[in-house]
């Protein structure tokens, strides 16, 4: 079996899972977020195809160094068969499995949960469910699918997760984007989604670059990181249901 997966597996302390985690990055994403600093994983490229047995060999070599494995990227749910295969193998090594997803493939998430292939989901909610701002932030629409259709799929994923809160650990992450979603009104709209799920909310301060690339939007590059105190003040103000939150 082949897949678009990075063969450079690594172990790190994950601030969301709060433990040492093996990270497996999938290539390919159906969003084109202008603030993404992991551009190298955005495209499906022929040179990125690898035999999945090579990933398994590397995972077997390093698995004793961690308790968890995180499938991320990129959008791992776009490669359903490969993801299921690697999740099943990870479980055979007694690793707890997490996916970090944009929620656009609810059937894949549901299938993983129903087959006990994942122990946790980190769902990225970047925007309220309003067409204009959703498209501005995700750049996800194309000739074949509209932003409204993608939003509907994300909503289905949220329903799947809400129905399975007793089966998997769930976290919601929101990248805080100056000039895009960093204001009280927009964060309040996102909060309403989090409140429905009733799971921990991880607010991720805007980063201009990482080991995997740099934000491509030059306007965003001109912004400074949001102020922690100002962000905390907004969250405390809108968080009427006392949803657990963390700023990282």
Q: pLDDT tens digits, the chain, 248 residues: what are they?
A: 999 999 999 999 999 999 999 999 999 999 999 999 888 999 999 999 999 999 999 999 999 999 999 999 999 999 999 999 999 999 999 999 999 999 999 999 999 999 999 999 999 999 999 999 999 999 999 989 999 999 999 999 999 999 999 999 999 999 999 989 999 999 999 999 999 999 999 999 988 777 777 787 777 778 888 889 999 999 999 999 999 999 99
- 11 vs 193: CA distance, rounded Å: 31
Within 96-223, residue ranges assigned H as helices are 106-114, 131-138, 147-163, 184-197, 218-221
The pLDDT value recorded for residue 216 is 75
On whether the CB atoms of residues 97 and 120 are closer than 8 A, the answer is: yes
CATH number of the domain within which 125 lies = 3.20.20.70
Per the structure, the count of domains in the chain is: 1
Helix or strand run (H / E) with residue 92:
helix 80-92
The pLDDT value recorded for residue 92 is 98
Burial group, residue 18, by CB count within 10 angstroms (0-12, 13-18, 19+)? exposed
Q: Which residues contact 64 (CB under 8 A, 6 or more apart)?
A: none
Nearest to 234 by CA among 179, 183, 195, 189: 183
Which structural domain range is residue 113 located in? 2-247
The pLDDT value recorded for residue 247 is 96
* Tokens (6 digits) for 220: 């965003």
The pLDDT value recorded for residue 214 is 73
- 40 vs 92: CA distance, rounded Å: 30
The pLDDT value recorded for residue 201 is 98
The pLDDT value recorded for residue 128 is 97
CA distances from 188 to 67, 229, 233 (A): 35, 17, 12
The pLDDT value recorded for residue 218 is 74
Burial group, residue 108, by CB count within 10 angstroms (0-12, 13-18, 19+)? buried
On whether the CB atoms of residues 190 and 125 are closer than 8 A, the answer is: yes
């Amino acid at each position: 079996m082949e897949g678009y997966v990075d063969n450079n597996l690594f172990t790190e302390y994950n601030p969301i899972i709060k433990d040492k985690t093996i990270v497996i990055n999938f290539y390919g994403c159906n969003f084109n977020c202008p603030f993404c600093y992991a551009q190298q994983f955005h495209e499906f490229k022929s040179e990125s195809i690898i035999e999945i047995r090579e990933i398994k060999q590397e995972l077997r070599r390093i698995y004793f160094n961690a308790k968890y494995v995180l499938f991320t990227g990129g959008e791992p749910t776009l490669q359903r068969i490969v993801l299921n295969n690697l999740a099943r193998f990870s479980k055979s090594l007694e690793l707890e499995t997490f996916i970090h997803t944009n929620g656009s493939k609810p059937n894949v998430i549901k299938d993983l949960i129903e087959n006990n292939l994942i122990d946790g989901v980190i769902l990225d909610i970047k925007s309220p469910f309003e067409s204009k701002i959703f498209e501005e932030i995700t750049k996800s629409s194309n000739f074949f699918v509209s932003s409204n259709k993608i939003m509907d799929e994300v909503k289905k994923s949220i329903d799947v997760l809400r129905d399975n809160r007793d089966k998997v650990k769930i976290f919601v992450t929101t990248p805080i984007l100056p000039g895009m979603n960093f204001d009280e009104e927009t964060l309040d709209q996102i909060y309403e989604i989090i409140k429905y799920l009733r799971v921990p909310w991880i607010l991720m301060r805007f980063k201009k670059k990482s080991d995997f690339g740099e934000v491509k939007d030059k306007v965003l590059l001109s912004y400074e990181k949001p102020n922690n105190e100002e962000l905390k003040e907004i969250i405390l103000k809108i968080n009427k249901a006392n949803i657990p939150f963390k700023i990282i």
